[in-house]
Structures are given as structure tokens and as C-alpha cells.
Structure 1
Amino acid sequence: MEKKYSVAIYPSQDVIDSVKTMKDYLKSKIDWYNSCNSVGHITICEFTITESEIDKYKQKLVKVCDTFTPVQVHLDHFGSYDNAGAFYIAPNEESKIVLKPIMKKIQESLKPLKLKKSDDPHMSIGRKLTPENLKIASQLFTTIDIDFLCKEIVLRELDPVKKQFFVIDTFLFNGNAQPEFVQGSLF
């Protein structure tokens, strides 16, 4: 049976709590909206495969994450994708510069899967918002200054009933550099 999976960066618990507070506040102003109940995260990619294939891709994630060193991420402004009705918290330029290669390497490690990729690191507050609700969100939230240590990624599976992802595995950044393969000589 095919299942939908997501690979994401989860921030620290205090950032997750802050994002939940923002989502709840927005919900109190505009009622239910897409992603109002999802845990704060930065999506790297999503894919659909059979359950029997997932272990092979978990091993790939273990291998790639082992090479990453934890990085500090600073979220310092809000933004929106008007065409998608998305309102989000964005990292500063320095954080984007360190997150993008991590995201790209993780996506590359999951070849040959057909991925729905995110190339722009961000933490959604709301998705599929109407233009009016997007405007309300941008008026409610104007300044932000939070940071966390990005030291792992999570693999999540979609609960088809709740329509929410839940974490099934965590992959730590261990900072182990890949050994360079050097062609030796026999003589």
C-alpha cells in the first residue's frame, strides 16, 4: 500500500510552541484554515511510495545526515506566496545560505523518487489562505526574531484520517565528514 511521506526540519520545542501560538491566534481571527493544526516545520520534500520501500530511503537519510554539522537558524521576517495563499516565517539570508545546500543534498539522496520539493526554506503559518485572510495574517504578525539549532531532520508519514503528518523517524546531524576516495597505486 502506498503512503505519503514528508522530510522536514523541526525546530526546537520553544519555536514549535511559538508557532502554535501564532497559528491559534490566526485561527481565532479567521476560523479554520489549511495547516492551522500542523506542527511548525520547514518542509524539505514530500513523496509517495509503498511502505515496503521506506527502509531503503531511511538508510539514505541516515547516511546523508551523518555528514551534516548542526547549524544555527535565525527566523527574522514574515513573507507570503500570494499565488498559493501561504503566509510564513522566513529565515535571514545567512540561514538560507546554510539551509539550501542541506535541503538540496537530502533531496538528491532520495533519488530516484519523484519528489515534491521545497527550494525556499520557510515555516508556514497558513496555507491556501484567501487574499483577505492573507492580508489579516500580515497585519497580525509584523515582527519576529527567533532562532534554533538545526541538528536533525524528521521523516513524517501522513495520517489519511487526520490529514496530518506524524513523525516516524529522526536523523541526527553528526558532523562526520565523508572520507575522500583516493585512487591508490599498487607499485
Structure 2
Amino acid sequence: MEKKYSVAIYPSQDVIDSVKTMKDYLKSKINWYNSCNSVAHITICEFTIDDSQIDTFRQKLFKTCDTFTPFSVHLDHFSSYENSGAFFIAPNEDSKNKLKPVMKKIQETLKSLKLKKSDDPHLSIGRKLTAENLKIASQLFTTIDIDFLCKEIVLRELDPAKKQFFVIDTFTFNGNTQPEFVQGSLF
């Protein structure tokens, strides 16, 4: 059966809680909006495949993430994509330069799939907002200064009934720079 999956970076629980508070506050001002109920995350990519294939890609994600070393991410400003109505929290330049290669490597790992990729790391507050609601969001939220340790990625599956993704696996950054062991011969 075909299912939709997402690969994302989850921030720390403190950041997730802070973003939920922001989303709830925005919802109290403009009512329901796209992504008002989604858990705070930085999207890497989304894809749809037959669920019988997912274990192959789990193995690939595990091998890739095993080589990454955890790093600090600093989110220091709000921004928006006016063409898509997205309002989000953005990382500073240093953090963006650390996130992009991780995102690119994960996307390369899954390149045999038809991916919907994100090239610009950001943490959405709202999506598909009207111009008026974007303006309200930018007036409500003006300063931000949060950090988290990027130490893993998550694989999520879409619950078609709830229209929300839920985590089905976590891949830890182990900083393992050892090349894969190759069986040699003594003779």
C-alpha cells in the first residue's frame, strides 16, 4: 500500500513546546490554519512509496546519519515566503551552513525516490496563510532567540485521517567516521 513519508529534523522538546505556544497564539488570532497542529520541525524531504519498501530506506538513513556529528542550531529571526504564505523561524547563517549539507546528504541518500525537497532550512509556524494573516503573524512575532542540539533526524508517516505526520523511526548522529568494515583475506 502506498504511504506518504517525511524526513525531518526535530528540535529539542523545549523548542517544540515554545513553537506550539506560538502556533496556538496565532490560531487564537486568525482561527485554524495549515500546520497549526503540526509538531515543530525542519523538513528535509517528503516522498510516497509502497510501505513494503520503507525498510530499505530506513537502512540507508541509518548509515548516512551514523556519520553525522551533532551540532548546535541557533534560530534568531522570523521570515516568510509570501508566494506560499509560509511564516517561519529561520536559523542564522552559521546554522544554515551546517544544516544544508545534512539536508543535501539525506536527499542524495534517497535520490532514487521522487522527492519533494526543502533546500532552505526553516521551522514553520504557519503555511498557506493569506497575505492578511501573514501580516498578523509578523506583527505578533518579532523577536526570537532559541537554540537546540541537532543530533538526529526522524522518519515520519502520514496519518491520512488526521492529516498529520507521526514519527516511526529516529536516526541518531553518531559521528562515526570509520569507513565501512570490508572483510579481507589473510591468505
Find out whether 1:85 has 2:93 as its counterpart: no
What fraction of aligned residue pairs are identical, expressed as a percent? 85
Check 1:145–1:99 CA distance in 2 against 1; reply closer, same or farther (3 A cut). Answer: same
Q: What's the TM-score, normalizing by structure 2?
A: 0.95
Match of 1:161 in 2: 161
1:29 maps to amino acid: K
Find out whether 1:95 has 2:99 as its counterpart: no
Shift of 1:152: 0.2
Match of 1:185 in 2: none
1:50 maps to amino acid: D
Match of 1:3 in 2: 3
| Residues 139-178 of structure 1: pairs in structure 2 closer than 5 A | 139-178=139-178
Matched positions, count: 181
Match of 1:39 in 2: 39
Q: What's the TM-score, normalizing by structure 1?
A: 0.95
- Cα distance in 1 for partners of 2:2, 2:30 equals 34
Q: What are the Cα deviations for residues 36-81 of structure 1, in whole angstroms up to 9, with x where unaligned? A: 0000000000000000000000000000000000010000000000
Find out whether 1:71 has 2:71 as its counterpart: yes
Structure 2 residues not aligned, in runs of 5+: 182-187
Shift of 1:180: 8.5
Q: What are the Cα deviations for residues 111-152 of structure 1, in whole angstroms up to 9, with x where unaligned? A: 200100000000000000000000000000000000000000
1:152 maps to amino acid: E
1:147 maps to amino acid: D
Match of 1:117 in 2: 117
Check 1:2–1:140 CA distance in 2 against 1; reply closer, same or farther (3 A cut). Answer: same
Q: Could you say what secondary structure the match of 2:95 adopts?
A: helix
Shift of 1:179: 2.1
Q: Could you say what secondary structure the match of 1:29 adopts?
A: helix
1:11 maps to amino acid: P
Q: Could you say what secondary structure the match of 1:111 adopts?
A: coil
2:114 maps to amino acid: K
- Cα distance in 2 for partners of 1:92, 1:105 equals 20
Backbone CA RMSD of aligned residues: 1.0
